[in-house]
Amino acid sequence: MNHLNLAYAATWLIHIAYLAYLAVKFAPLKREIEELRKK
Amino acid sequence: MKSPLPILALLTGALLSFGLYQARVAAPTEQTMGDIQRIFYYHVPSAWVAFLCFTANVLFSIHYLVRRSAKVDALAVSTAEVGVVFCTVVLVTGPLWAKPVWGIWWTWDARLTSTLVLWLIYVSYLVLRRFSTGSQKPVLAAVLAVFGFVDVIFVYMSIRWFRTQHPQPVIGGGEGSGIHPDMLFALLANFAAFLAFALLVVWVRYRLERIRHSLDEFHALAAVRAPEEARSR
């Protein structure tokens, strides 16, 4: 893969990694809200 | 009311696709560097978006220092985090562009060094927010953001103040600067796309921060009420 494709791929990898981090980090919060609603 | 998030995400996706088409297909090939110059359409808009995020962060931080609003503090941390993500993109795409053009991955010139320092400052800001405890945490973070912003100005001005390996500004760089109109269109299309994407992510991050804050408040209140309820029984 040349540097151009690598730069474009790296850009999207960084953004997708951050979105995945947000999803993983805040999944417990959503579960907690659901549990509180059930109570 | 239904969340507008899916529609905004679709619109942003369309903008990003259009930007990618402009960058990889529609924009003319640069004569000296060839196709590798197309990194420009991701590298430069990412830097602009990072600058805007850090500028928003310092404005929210100053606002927080004056008003002490939790909502503004949530906006400050959201913009800093997204700014760091875009700054990371700049620091990764830059060397990938430099190696085939300059023959080196990195050089310690004013622009590159100050950009690395900028990234380190805002990573420190996020680390401070993550690991410090106590009620003064947002205040300390806001003060750090105000001082850290000085480097944003330095990064922006570095290629104007110093002779650097990094190229001089192609837009707004004075006499002799400027690019082909089709290249400018591709650049602005990608800037608009990444700005829309950043706004969307900041919004999501802000909402998540507010949820976390509300849950923390709920637990703190529950902890205060628990002994009172036990006494009344």
Label residue A15 exposed, middle or buried (CB < 10 Å: 0-12, 13-18, 19+).
Answer: buried
- pTM for the model: 0.92
Q: Is the Cβ pair B93, A7 closer than 8 Å?
A: yes
Chain A nearest C-alpha distance from B82 (Å) = 9
C-alpha–C-alpha distance, residues A8 and B159, integer Å? 25
Residues A2-38 pLDDT 10s: 999 999 999 999 999 999 999 998 888 888 888 888 8
Closest alpha carbon within chain B to A29:
B212
Residues of A with CB under 8 A from a CB of B: 2-4, 6-8, 10-11, 14-15, 18-19, 22, 25-26, 29, 32-33, 36
Interface test with A, best of B89, B122, B206 (most A CBs within 10 A): B89
* pLDDT beneath 50: ranges in chain B: none
Give the Å distances, CA to CA, from B97 to A16, B77, B84, B106: 21, 30, 20, 10
Tokens 């947000």 locate to A22
Q: Which residue of A has its CA nearest to B100?
A: A3
3 state DSSP class of B30: strand
How far is residue B201's CA from residue B160's CA, in Å, rounded to a whole number?
32
Both structure tokens of B199: 């706004």
**Residue B34 φ/ψ region, left for φ over 0, alpha for ψ in the -120 to 50 degree band, beta for the rest:** left
Q: How many residues does chain A have?
A: 39
Provide the pLDDT for residue B129. Answer: 93
Per the CB < 8 Å rule, is B42 touching A11? yes
Spell out which residues of chain B touch residue A36, defining contact as CB-CB under 8 Å: 218
* Residue A1 scores a pLDDT above 60: no
Which residue type, as a one-letter code, is found at position B174? G
Per the structure, the count of domains in chain B is 1
Domain of residue B163: give its range: 5-169+178-232
CB contact under 8 A, B35 and A4: yes
Give exposure, B56-95, as e/b (b: 16+ Cβ within 10 Å).
bbbbbbbbbeeeeeeebbbbbbbbbbbbbbbbbbbbbbbb
Q: What is the ipTM of this complex?
A: 0.90
Is the separation of the CB atoms in B209 and B129 below 8 Å? no
Rounded distance between C-alpha atoms, residue B78 and residue B58, angstroms: 12
User: Cα–Cα distance between B105 and B94 in angstroms, integer?
Assistant: 8
- Please name the residue that has the structure tokens 């320092």: B117
Q: Where are the domains of chain A?
A: 1-39
pLDDT at B167: 85
CB contact under 8 A, A3 and B38: no
Indicate which of A1, A4, A5, A33 best probes the interface with B, i.e. most B CBs within 10 Å of its own CB: A4
Query: A with B: how many residue pairs have Cβ under 8 Å apart?
Result: 58
Which pLDDT does position B24 carry in this prediction?
96
